[in-house]
């Protein structure tokens, strides 16, 4: 084209992925030396296909071309999220699940992922490669019918070829709930609470943390194993109702760092922390009325304020004191003004070993109370160093120096004639330890828990676990059996689905064979 010539018409170009429609127009304008160049419709940079360009006076026809019918073919990949919400994003995901709980780790990669794919990698194979890598980078390269995991160690590539399972066998996971930010101390409080939850799988209500949002003044994280109960404040949680979050090793993982967000919806609890996303089904049922278990002694109590030095002393020495192997690892805490002692003995015939807490302060009526040393030590590790008790059979109520709203209730181990033991130095009568359970009750009962009597002379001898405890255990056992039955039915449904899928595949193979035979019959020799 020479100078002075006027270009007129429409130019159809097959736009590749990458350049914008404006970039194409600029290139044509420079290459053809035409001032007036426009496009009849915009294609995104990732889109490919016909881009209609109008040259010279034909630019007036652009509106008519744009109104003509067009066909767009899109390729969409569900279940993949990137930071740019398109295929050029820099986020890939690792997902692990046991159906009821799901953990997702979002990985920022250096290069874009133009064609994201989903593959299944056996966890054992990935763990073996990560162990070999010893902190080095691991490359995951999918290929037809296999996945290659390569770790570079000392400049040497160590590869492992894995045949992944069928991606169609991946179960449908619960959709994570929308999350909102929480206060920085939420995750710490949740971990601390879960250390006091029950380890019994047959009691799922107690093997969990209760996120109580019923109070308007402040929400609480609660956990109990029926012999101790801990309450931690957590500010105002972004939850419409209280939920019961099951205990899991992931939540106790101390390497979880970053801004924390939570949410709950349709029986699913979601926690986001940094690149991690944790989703779990909440525990169904009514949590025990924990607030009725916490006594309010007021001024009618003996108080103990442990010094930091004595706290560290108890944490260090309690496990090594005599009698830790038997009698449930109990000890006796003897409280009196200016005389705080921790006592234990190997057996009834052994002398008593005692540690005097010189720097701790005690006020009130002298009292001796038997405790489980492991439970008491756990409370000390959680920061509870302010204690109240009324008599030898009443619960100990603990608080922290820095947070008065935190609370820990520890049931005593009733010892024969403990209340009659002197607080002074000297030999003591051998003790007989009997464990006591926290009187937690299901919410559906209308009876209030039995609170400790104000006068220790009215205390009845220790008894076996009551009928309410037995009912609660039976109730939890029945619920566990129902859940197991539901899980078995789900497995049956999966087997039925696989059988139907296999039958359809066989039907397709038979149809293909018949079609081949039909073609062979048409061949004339």
Active-site annotation, residues: 44
CA nearest 234: which of 184, 165, 166? 184
Q: Tokens in use for 120?
A: 């299944």
End-to-end Cα distance, the chain: 61
Task: Give the count of beta carbons closer than 10 Å to the beta carbon of residue 458.
Answer: 9
CA nearest 297: which of 145, 178, 454, 133? 454
> What's the CA gap between 62 and 38, in Å, rounded?
8
- The answer to whether 283 touches 204, Cβ cutoff 8 Å, is yes
Q: Beta strands 361-363 and 302-305: pairing type?
A: antiparallel
> What's the CA gap between 132 and 153, in Å, rounded?
8
Phi-psi category of residue 285: left, alpha or beta, with phi > 0 → left and psi -120 to 50 → alpha: left
CA nearest 252: which of 191, 192, 204, 201? 191
- The answer to whether 226 touches 205, Cβ cutoff 8 Å, is no
Phi-psi category of residue 511: left, alpha or beta, with phi > 0 → left and psi -120 to 50 → alpha: alpha
Q: Tokens in use for 294?
A: 């916490």
């Amino acid at each position: 084209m020479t100078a002075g010539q006027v270009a007129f018409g429409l130019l159809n170009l097959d736009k590749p992925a990458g350049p914008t429609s404006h970039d194409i127009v600029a290139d044509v304008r420079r290459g053809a030396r035409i001032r007036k160049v426009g496009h009849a419709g915009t294609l995104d940079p990732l889109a490919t296909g016909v881009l209609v360009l109008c040259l010279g006076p034909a630019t007036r026809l652009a509106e008519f071309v744009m109104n003509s019918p067009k066909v767009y073919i899109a390729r969409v990949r569900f279940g993949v999220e990137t930071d740019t919400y398109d295929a050029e994003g820099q986020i890939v995901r690792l997902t692990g699940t046991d159906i009821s709980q799901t953990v997702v780790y979002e990985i920022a990669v250096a290069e874009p992922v133009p064609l994201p794919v989903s593959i299944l990698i056996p966890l054992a194979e990935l763990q073996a490669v990560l162990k070999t890598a010893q902190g080095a980078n691991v490359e995951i390269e999918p290929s037809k019918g296999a996945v290659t995991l390569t770790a570079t160690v000392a400049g040497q590539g160590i590869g492992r070829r894995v045949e992944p399972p069928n991606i169609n066998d991946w179960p449908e996971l619960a959709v994570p709930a929308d999350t909102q930010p929480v206060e920085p101390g939420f995750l710490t409080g949740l971990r601390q609470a879960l250390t006091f939850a029950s380890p019994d799988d047959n009691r799922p209500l107690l093997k969990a943390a209760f996120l109580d949002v019923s109070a308007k003044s402040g929400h609480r994280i609660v956990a109990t194993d029926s012999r101790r109960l801990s309450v931690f404040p957590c500010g105002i949680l972004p939850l419409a109702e209280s939920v019961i979050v099951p205990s899991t090793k992931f939540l106790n993982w101390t390497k979880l760092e970053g801004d924390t967000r939570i949410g709950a919806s349709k029986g699913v609890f979601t926690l986001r922390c940094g690149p991690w996303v944790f989703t779990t089904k909440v525990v169904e049922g009514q949590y025990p009325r924990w607030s009725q278990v916490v006594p309010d002694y007021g001024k009618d109590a003996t108080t103990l304020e442990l010094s930091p030095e004595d706290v560290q002393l108890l944490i260090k020495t309690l496990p090594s004191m005599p009698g830790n192997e038997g009698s449930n690892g109990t000890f006796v805490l003897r409280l009196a003004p200016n005389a705080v002692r921790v006592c234990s003995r190997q057996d009834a015939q052994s002398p008593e070993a005692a540690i005097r807490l010189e720097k701790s302060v005690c006020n009130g009526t002298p009292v001796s109370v038997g405790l489980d040393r492991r439970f008491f030590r756990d409370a000390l590790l959680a920061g509870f160093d302010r204690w109240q008790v009324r008599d030898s059979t009443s619960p100990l109520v603990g608080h922290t120096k820095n947070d008065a709203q935190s609370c820990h209730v520890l049931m005593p181990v009733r010892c024969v004639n403990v209340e009659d033991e002197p607080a002074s130095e000297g030999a003591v009568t051998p003790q007989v330890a009997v464990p006591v359970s926290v009187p937690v009750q299901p919410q559906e009962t209308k009876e209030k828990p039995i609170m400790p009597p104000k006068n220790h002379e009215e205390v009845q001898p220790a008894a076996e676990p009551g009928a309410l405890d037995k009912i609660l255990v039976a109730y939890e056992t029945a619920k566990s059996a129902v859940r197991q039955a539901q899980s078995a039915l789900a497995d049956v449904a999966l087997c039925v689905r696989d059988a139907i899928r296999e039958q359809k595949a066989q039907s397709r193979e038979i149809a293909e064979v018949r079609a081949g035979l039909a073609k062979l019959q048409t061949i004339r020799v």
